[in-house]
């Protein structure tokens, strides 16, 4: 590394920094700064950027025009969502910030890019972010029909509001008794995919480290799963020692969505939002809900909460007229 820097400084002609060289230098530095799951996701996007833009590409050629064309191609030629392309842009921005700091570039080319995002990808309405009672019954019945393991896992997400990675990473030893004797789930980690699925001890966010009380039904689900795989390291296991795979579950959920024509984005995460909506219906304060689901603050949680509570107020107004 030192020799390479000296070559750059004393070369009579401008040194050409190639994209692969930049990534090889930047990624190890970035890995030290962020959580493991953040690095793994960034590394995956960086690999695609490298393959698409070319490892030997001079980074000075990655100007605003070329990057705009690339991101637009991801949307309209490869079918990436607006949200996914924003993540690719964010990865590029952080990498190019490093290049500017190291004086490989004079400016960051990701600033003021013109990306033609799809207009039909407007943000979903609050009621489209969670299941109503009928949809929840349909989805859970379908998943139980595919496999009792899949059904129990999805129902557990609904009953607890956990993220996929939090629930999938639970060990039997993470079921503990609270001071009042109630059974709690200790959520102190998440599943990451780094050369296979493994548990990362730190949760997605600092607020994610928490203990939550489990209902009797949620406890029964855990007991049933542990009885099925008594020697597995995880409560929810696929086979002997692997957690349930997120991609398989989401694939089945999409099949159910198409079969029953459900006009919502049906992924495992919608069970979390459904849990929030049910707590709001029960009149649980917003700050209590945020603590339970591991949000220091969340626009989505607040949005669902306000939508549900406003619906409850409207129903109350209608009933008052009947007095």
Residue 199 is classified by DSSP as E
- What residue numbers bound the domain in which 33 lies? 2-101
Whether 9 has a pLDDT exceeding 70, the answer reads no
Are the beta carbons of 236 and 170 closer than 8 angstroms? Answer: yes
Same domain, 87 and 136: no
Average pLDDT of the chain?
87
Share of the chain above pLDDT 90, in %: 57
pLDDT in tens, 44-55: 899 999 999 999
pLDDT in tens, 185-243: 999 888 877 666 778 777 666 767 899 999 999 999 999 999 998 889 999 988 667 88
Tell me the C-alpha distance between 264 and 256, whole Å: 11
- The CATH number linked to 141 is 1.10.443.10
Whether 94 has a pLDDT exceeding 90, the answer reads yes
Same domain, 49 and 141: no
Number of separate domains in the chain: 2
- The CATH number linked to 82 is 1.10.150
Tell me the C-alpha distance between 72 and 100, whole Å: 24
- Averaged pLDDT for residues 116-123: 74
Are the beta carbons of 197 and 245 closer than 8 angstroms? Answer: yes
């Amino acid at each position: 590394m030192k020799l390479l820097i000296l070559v750059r400084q004393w070369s009579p002609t401008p040194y050409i920094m190639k994209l692969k060289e930049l990534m090889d230098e930047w990624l190890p530095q970035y890995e030290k700064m962020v959580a493991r799951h953040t690095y793994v996701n960034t590394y995956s996007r960086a690999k695609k950027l490298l393959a698409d833009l070319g490892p030997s590409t001079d980074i000075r050629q990655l100007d605003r025009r070329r990057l705009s064309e690339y991101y637009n191609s991801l949307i309209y030629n490869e079918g990436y969502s607006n949200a996914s392309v924003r993540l690719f842009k964010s990865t590029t921005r952080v990498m190019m910030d490093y290049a500017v700091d190291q004086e490989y570039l004079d400016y960051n080319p990701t600033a003021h890019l013109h990306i033609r995002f799809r207009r039909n990808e407007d943000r979903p309405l609050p009621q489209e972010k969670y299941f109503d009672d009928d949809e929840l019954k349909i989805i859970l019945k379908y998943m139980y029909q595919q496999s009792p393991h899949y059904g129990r896992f999805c129902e557990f997400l609904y009953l607890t509001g956990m993220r996929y990675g939090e629930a999938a990473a639970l060990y039997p030893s993470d079921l503990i008794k609270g001071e009042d004797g109630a059974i709690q789930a200790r959520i102190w980690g998440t599943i990451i995919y780094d050369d296979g699925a493994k548990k990362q001890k730190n949760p997605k966010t600092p607020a994610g480290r928490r203990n939550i009380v489990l209902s009797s039904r949620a406890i029964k689900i855990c007991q049933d799963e542990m009885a099925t795989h008594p020697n597995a390291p995880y409560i929810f296991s696929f086979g002997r020692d692997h957690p349930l795979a997120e991609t398989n579950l989401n694939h089945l959920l999409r099949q159910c969505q198409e079969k029953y024509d459900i006009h919502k984005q049906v992924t495992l995460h919608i069970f979390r939002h459904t849990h929030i909506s049910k707590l709001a219906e029960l009149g649980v304060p917003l700050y209590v809900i945020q603590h339970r689901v591991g949000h220091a603050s969340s626009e989505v949680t607040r949005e669902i909460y306000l939508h549900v509570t406003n619906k409850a107020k409207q129903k109350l107004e209608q009933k008052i007229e009947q007095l």
